Amino acid sequence: MRVARIRIGRFRGYRHVVLVVPENMVLAGEPQAGRTDIVEALRRVLDARSTRSRVNPLDVYRPADGDGGSLTEVEVTLLDLGKDLETLLSENLETFDQETGEIATPSNAGDAVLGVRLCYRARYDLDTDIGEHWVDYPARSDPAAGVYRRASRIEREALPVQFVDSAPALQLRAEGVLRAHLADGDPGGLDSALANLDSAVHAATESFSRTEVVTCVLDKVIDSGPHTLFGINDAADITFLADDGSMAALLRALQPAISMGAAGVLPVRSQGSTVESVLSAAEAIAAARDAQSGVVIIGDDFGDRLDASSSEHMARLIHVTAGQAILTTRRPEVVRAFDPGELVRLTVSHGERRQHRLSAVTDKTGRVNRRLILEQLFAALSARTVVLVEGPLDVEGYGALASRLFRKTNNQRFSLPANGIRLVAPPGSDGGVTRLPAIAAIALELGFHVRAVVDNDKPGHEDPAVGVLAGVVEQLVVLPTRTAVEAALIRGVPGDQLRKTVTTLEDFGMPALPDDLSDDDIAEHLITTKVIKKQGLGAAWAHALTCQPPVAASTIEAVCGDTLGRIDIPALS
């Protein structure tokens, strides 16, 4: 089974949206752009427990804008159901375009496939705090007449879906993923095992209750009032149970423990968040491996509680195991587990939520180039703006200087993170302005605001790529003539301060200055020898400077500012 299309109306932060879901999907993007709302929308439809409790008022889109009588709706189209599900849901099947998930038309009926639509609907009155919600089949419902063919609990529980939650892993209680996995694997065996557990626990607690040390103390307690007031005779009338003595209470009390290393057996919650999160994902993966039809695995903020290696490995396992993987994430490592065409980036622009995905690329060279460029953009997926620079030295130098200036001034005009900005350079050790338009094109396709900082090395000759960039990016910052990033980090700093900075960095590989070099010549010596670039000291240089370099500082202030279009940083007088 797979989710092919999601239509949302007046649910949480979405007034209306349609999302065509690829074979697998990873959702990333800006904060408040709706990642969690997409997962919760799927949960309302696909989780059989979602309608057992009362309507959540937060699920209702606000403000009502005069359409308060409209229902909150989440419609999900499911394809590739498999024989068993098709048989179970046969009365509600429809034909769909397998690419878009839309209902088939006469023009594409020849390629149509069978599937089913399920729709979660909620009606809620904010004034009275009264509402109702249900899941129905739109194919057999008539909202205009108030007629709905509701999906039964059995039909919804038959849907092969696993949600990767932040709830504790390896739970035996009724709502636990492990419990469901055990029941699916061998219901009779599980019932027998639970009966044996219940019997053994009762026998153990009865034995404990009858030991001499316990009965002796209990008799003393009973003789101190309960015997007279309530007619409790002796210790034989008292035993010990897990909570209320029910199986449910016993299973709630039982918590998993693992032996890992020299510490011996410890509860899972004491093993750390990474272990808990890996086990939660592993439960879903195990269920998917055992299922006869493809299981849809859905997870929100996947990888948040995992380290980089674990998040990427578990995401890859989900990707290759699930019939369909739908994950939202803030971790670039999780996105790497998916193909570029499976990435959907969500953004917010002018108060409107938007979705972005890359267009198809058919040639191998294009796919390789796209993957290499995406590797540079992955770390910026949750940023609003990317600033393209010509090489890794620019990223190190400007990034370190911006951090240092913000610490010293506490001024937002020097803070890249406060302005939602990430610096991005072309992949590899070699950069250059000619490589920036290709990165800009992909960044724009993914919904980024794109700015760029370019050098002005050759007077009187501007690279044609600069003109191309100017036509696509929202802001283009051009450095002064004969100024690359090294010069920007050096020029304007007094010679005596440059000398101190060089001395500070000699332990980091910075060559000592010639003995006969005057303070006035230090700047040009450092620029012409390209020592900062050759020694890889961009970040170290920016942090070691004792005063700010005016050209580089002006560049950072420009990209953090509101001025758009071309900005030429003035040369030093």
CATH number, domain with residue 38:
3.40.50
**Is 500 a domain residue?**
yes
Same domain membership, residue 244 and residue 101: no
Same domain membership, residue 196 and residue 277: yes
Same domain membership, residue 523 and residue 387: yes
Q: How far apart are CA 372 and CA 196, in angstroms?
A: 57
- Which pLDDT tens digit goes with each residue over 527-558? 999 889 888 888 999 999 988 999 999 999 99
Identify which of 285, 265, 267, 334 has the alpha carbon closest to the alpha carbon of residue 306.
334
Q: How far apart are CA 87 and CA 295, in angstroms?
A: 17
Locate 319 and state its tokens: 């990707």
Q: Is the pLDDT of residue 198 over 80?
A: yes
Q: Is the pLDDT of residue 202 over 90?
A: no
DSSP 56: -
Q: Is the pLDDT of residue 65 over 80?
A: no
Cβ atoms of 538 and 532 within 8 Å: the answer is: yes
Cβ atoms of 249 and 243 within 8 Å: the answer is: yes
Q: How far apart are CA 119 and CA 76, in angstroms?
A: 6
Q: How many domains does the chain have?
A: 3
- Which pLDDT tens digit goes with each residue over 350-397? 889 999 999 888 888 888 888 888 888 998 999 999 999 999 899 999
Same domain membership, residue 396 and residue 452: yes
Looking up tokens 């590899």 gives 428
Taking all residues of the chain, what is their mean pLDDT, rounded to a whole number? 89
Same domain membership, residue 209 and residue 137: no
**Is 75 a domain residue?**
yes
- Which pLDDT tens digit goes with each residue over 313-354? 999 999 999 999 999 999 999 999 999 999 999 999 888 999
Residue 499 pLDDT grade (very low, low, confident, very high; cuts 50, 70, 90): very high
Phi and psi, residue 265, nearest 5°: -75, 125
What pLDDT sits at residue 183?
A: 81
Same domain membership, residue 261 and residue 143: no
What pLDDT sits at residue 132?
A: 93
Last residue of a domain, one of 109, 142, 170: 170
Residue 259 pLDDT grade (very low, low, confident, very high; cuts 50, 70, 90): confident
Same domain membership, residue 186 and residue 159: no
pTM score: 0.87
Q: Is the pLDDT of residue 68 over 60?
A: no
Residue 64 pLDDT grade (very low, low, confident, very high; cuts 50, 70, 90): low
Q: How far apart are CA 469 and CA 451, in angstroms?
A: 9
Tell me which H or E stretch contains 193. helix 187-209
**Is 353 a domain residue?**
no
Number of H helices, E strands in the chain: 21, 19
Last residue of a domain, one of 135, 170, 205: 170
Tell me which H or E stretch contains 486. helix 485-488
DSSP 232: -
Describe the strand order of the beta sheet including 421-424 as a list of residue ranges. Answer: 421-424, 385-388, 449-454, 475-478, 565-568
Please compute, for residue 373, the number of CA atoms within 13 A of its CA located in the half-sphere on the CB side. 22
Same domain membership, residue 16 and residue 125: yes
Q: Is 409 helix (H, G, I), strand (E, B) or coil?
A: helix
- Which pLDDT tens digit goes with each residue over 439-497? 999 999 999 999 999 987 666 677 888 999 999 999 999 999 888 899 999 999 999 99
Q: How far apart are CA 535 and CA 211, in angstroms?
A: 76
Amino acid letter, residue 396: E
